[in-house]
Chains A and B, each alone.
Chain A
Amino acid sequence: MPELAEQAILDFYTYPPIGGDDWRYTFQTAQVRTLEIQMLSRAALLDMANAENFEQAADLLSGSEYALPRGGKDFAEVEEILQQRRAAVRELFSDLMLDEPTVELFRTRDDFANLRLAVRRTMTEKPLGTDYSSGGNVPPELIEQIFSEEDVFSKPVFPDYVQEAVEQAVLAYYQQKDIRRIDYAIDSVQAQYNLRQARRLRSVFLLGFFRIQIDLTNIRTMLRLKFTESEQPNVFLEGGFIELERFRHGLELGYEALGPLFFVTPYHRIVDTGANYLASNKSFLRVEQQCDEHLTGFLKSTVLITAGPQPIIAFLLMKENEIRTVRLILTAKKNHLDTKLILDRIS
């Protein structure tokens, strides 16, 4: 079987290739295309953002799947509905995907989130609890049970990637006794695992997606390190399209010089706009919006696929993004935040 061709940054203009059709997914793709029509339009989100108050913004959702119960406009209810919608879309994704490893790959996001919590609690000798997310491959009860036995390493009961993440996180923590090292280690293991799995599944789309995700995370990390004046050049994730040296070099430059540094990459506009906004407004809203927009643009390029897993994965991720956007707008409206802030984040 030939190796999956790795793209370099010069091989594409804005987005890397998304792979070809897979005719096993004809029905599933058609189903997703129908569901895509029901997603909230950009105009609907802008109307919500421009609504006068929370009630008005919530009323705009009345015709959608996020409709709030009549009379109940408590934010806990909103959060509950959003959680339900997210669980439903993930359930639908696992039903539509024919390749079980891809479903498992996306479930690992919850596993890694649970691990961050469990390892942190174990290292700081806090009660482990059972309040973990149940959307992962490892059940929350098992996490609690294994970590409370304190012999995570002797009996490899977790899947390989979890075991590796735990080992790396504990090792990283004891090197400097720094809680943040746990997160850095788990982030790194997660990124490498995602790339490994994408290659194993021979998915050009997933490989491109995860590499873009790593690049965008590194861009945000670079700006955050600069903003907080933190000297940690080794926290960048490996495996993206952009070489790490560029990010490290970016840490030494001023905000105005960052745009030109990334001029030859597809992320030039993100870095330039994000850095300028950060310098003038002391806020990451614009860079995060630009990152989301870039990733959404990549996901939307799956419109060219007639049948395949790409539109289904793209639907899951865009739906999750939509849920986050609805939460953002409703939170902002509930707390009387400035409309400009919402527009800066979502437009």
Chain B
Amino acid sequence: MLANVNATRMELLRLRKRVALASRGHRLLSEKRDELSRQLIRIAREIQPLRKRVEAELLETCRRFMLARATMEPEATKAALEVPTKKFSLAVKFANIMNVKVPHLSKEMEGEIICYGFATTSGEMDVALLALERAFDNLIELAEKEKQARLLAVELQMTRRRVNVLEHVVIPELHETIRFIYDKLAEAERDNISRLMKITDIIRA
């Protein structure tokens, strides 16, 4: 930067304005970074127990389903689960957290999850499907939170890099350039004064 700089008073003024702008940006981005970190920690704290709960629920569902499938004839399992009656739709809305668009998921379900007769199927299948239905609420909440956390984490990473660049590269370089121009201008001023003094001495002699 120093090689290409024009050591003029105009440039000095322009750079001083840039330093002020960069400092303000740094302060704002630091605040954004802190708030993003706070939000991310809050969401991460919510995710941990939720994920454990969802994993436990899904494990229970799988366990029941495996028991049901093992005790039923393969044809009966196939016939029972071939055509589901439960309809599931997912609506996605976006909320704004520190200028990050995070999704807000809401589900709509209709119909019965138990979609078969009773004579050739196992009761464990009912238990498995009802457990799966119950797990959906937590599963969707988990998906929403994890997506939010991921988006906030990406934004946090970007913001932190911007803050670091401003703090450790842009602002110090601008200060260095300003000092360089200031020195150059001061030297030119001193040259000018000494030249004038020499001319005065010549005239007086």
> CB within 8 Å of B: which residues of A?
79, 83, 110, 113-114, 116-117, 120-121, 123-124, 126, 131, 133, 178-180, 182-184, 186-187, 190-191, 217, 220-221, 223-224, 227-228, 230, 235, 237, 282-285, 287-288, 324, 327-328, 331-332, 335, 337, 341, 345
Most A Cβ at <10 Å: residue of B62, B66, B124, B127: B127
Q: Which of B67, B74, B79, B122 contacts A116 (CB 8 A)?
A: B79
Assess whether B120 is interfacial by the CB under 8 Å rule. Answer: yes
Q: Give the distance to chain A from B113, nearest Cβ to Cβ, in Å.
A: 9
Those of B134-178 within 8 Å (CB) of chain A: none
Asked if A227 and B126 make an inter-chain contact with CB atoms under 8 angstroms apart, the answer reads: yes
- Contact yes or no, A190 B119, CB < 8 A: yes
Known: A283-B127, A284-B124, A345-B67. Is A191-B82 also a contact (CB below 8 A)? no
Contact partner of B70 among A110, A117, A133, A324, CB < 8 A?
A324
Main secondary structure of the interface of B (DSSP, over half): helix
B108 within 8 A of A: no
B63, B82, B85, B126: most-surrounded residue (chain A CB, <10 A): B82
Contact B127 A284 (CB under 8 A): yes
A114 to B78, CA, bound (A): 10
* Leading 3 A-B pairs by shortest Cβ distance: A183-B117, A284-B123, A187-B119
Minimum CB–CB distance for B20 against chain A, Å = 64
- Chain A residues with CB under 8 Å of B130's CB are 228
Q: Binding site of A, secondary structure by majority: helix, strand, loop or mixed?
A: helix
**Smallest CB gap from A225: residue in B:** B118
| Pair A332/B67 contact, Cβ less than 8 Å | yes
Q: Choose from B75, B76, B117 the contact partner of A184 (Cβ within 8 Å).
A: B117
In the bound assembly, the distance between CA atoms of A217 and B120 in angstroms comes to 8
Query: Can you report 29 A-B residue pairs in the complex whose CB atoms are below 8 A from each other?
Result: A113-B73, A113-B75, A114-B79, A116-B79, A116-B80, A116-B117, A120-B79, A121-B82, A131-B78, A179-B83, A180-B85, A180-B116, A182-B117, A183-B116, A183-B117, A184-B117, A184-B118, A224-B123, A227-B123, A227-B127, A228-B130, A282-B127, A283-B64, A284-B126, A324-B71, A332-B70, A337-B67, A341-B63, A345-B67
Does A186 lie within 8 Å of B118, measured CB to CB?
A: no
Write out the residue numbers on chain A whose beta carbons fall within 8 Å of the beta carbon of B78: 117, 131
A284–B122 touching, CB < 8 Å: yes
Between B62, B73, B119, B126, the greatest number of chain A beta carbons within 10 A of the residue's beta carbon is seen for B119
Q: What is the bound-complex CA distance between A114 and B82, given in angstroms?
A: 12
How far does the alpha carbon of A178 sit from the alpha carbon of B112 in the complex, in Å?
10
Check A117 against B82 for contact (C-beta < 8 Å): yes
B114 within 8 A of A: yes
User: Do residues B67 and A191 form an inter-chain contact, with CB atoms below 8 A?
Assistant: no
CA distance A123 to B122 in the complex (A): 24
**Complex CA distance for A335 and B69, rounded to whole angstroms:** 13
Q: Which of A126, A179, A288 has the most CB of B within 10 A?
A: A179
B115 part of interface (Cβ distance < 8 Å): yes
Partner pick for B67 among A79, A186, A285, CB 8 A cutoff:
A285
A342's nearest neighbour on chain B, judged by CB, is: B67
Contact status A126-B75, CB under 8 Å? no
Can you name the residue of chain A whose Cβ is closest to the Cβ of B131?
A282
Q: Is the pair A217, B123 in contact by a Cβ cutoff of 8 Å?
A: no
Partner of A83, one of B74, B114, B117: B74
What residues on A are CB-neighbors of B120 within 8 Å? 113, 116, 187
B126: A residues at CB distance < 8 A: 224, 227-228, 284
The 8 Å CB contact of A287, one of B85, B119, B123, is B123
**Residues of A contacting B71 in the complex (Cβ-Cβ under 8 angstroms):** 288, 324, 327-328, 345
Nearest chain B CB to A201's CB is how many angstroms away? 21
Q: Are A331 and B116 in contact (CB under 8 A)?
A: no
**Residue from B66, B75, B116, B126 having most chain A Cβ neighbours under 10 A:** B75
Q: Which residues of A contact B83 (CB under 8 A)?
A: 120-121, 123-124, 126, 179
